Amino acid sequence: MDVHCSTCGEPWDVDHLRHDAIFETDLSHEEAETWRELSPGLRLSPRYREKFKAVGWEFALRFSMGCVAPVVASGEGGLITPSREG
């Protein structure tokens, strides 16, 4: 699945987000490895959302079919914008 920034149109590396970005957080290596085995719903539990937010990723509250998208939902109507610059 291709995911692009809604602001600049640049593609996001979804595989990086789903498998490697967790290692950018302050979790220990063992905790990050354990996270990789969790179901999609648990991967975005409040604790992990805060860890990702601290390193520049914020995720919408809703996702489907296990997809993880680096977005912030804001305003009525679900406007989606990226939370990470660069």
pLDDT of residue 86: 45
Q: Do 5 and 82 contact (CB within 8 A), yes or no?
A: yes
Helix (H) or strand (E) holding 79: strand 79-81
Domain extent listing, the chain: 3-81
Find the distance separating the first CA and the last CA of the chain, reported in whole Å.
21
Sign of CA dihedral 60, 64, 68, 26: positive
pLDDT of residue 28: 96
24's tokens: 């950018």
pLDDT of residue 58: 80
* Tens of each residue's pLDDT in the chain, 86 residues: 566 666 677 777 777 788 888 999 999 999 999 999 998 888 889 999 999 989 888 877 764 444 444 444 443 334 344 444 44
pLDDT of residue 54: 92
- Note the pTM of the prediction, 2 decimals: 0.60
